[in-house]
Amino acid sequence: MLRRLIIRFFPTLASRFEKDSREWMIQCQKCDHEISVWDAGGIRYKARGTVRRLGKCSSCGKTSMLRIYRPDKPADPDAP
């Protein structure tokens, strides 16, 4: 609901929310299924650190601790 309102009334802000949220992943600790926060229907903007939340996995359907983290970006091979 909140996400739809932001997209509709603040498209510039919504694009920044989407960009940041797609970089964050949710991982089930039971089946190792991963999905981006944005694809799961969430928003994670200007966040830091890894967190764990109790939730239901969209793949296996079991309630477990879901790890929300940002994967390390690979180093740019062209960087000096």
Domain boundaries along the sequence of the chain? 2-69
Q: Give residue-wise pLDDT tens across range 11-32.
A: 888 888 889 999 999 999 999 9
Note the pTM of the prediction, 2 decimals.
Answer: 0.77
Percentage above 70 pLDDT, the chain: 89
Beta carbons of 37 and 24 less than 8 angstroms apart: yes
- Three-class secondary structure assignment of the chain: CHHHHHHHHCHHHHHHHHHHHHHCEEEECCCCCEEECCCCCCCCCCCCCCEEEEEECCCCCCEEEEEEECCCCCCCCCCC
Q: Give residue-wise pLDDT tens across range 33-45.
A: 999 999 998 889 8
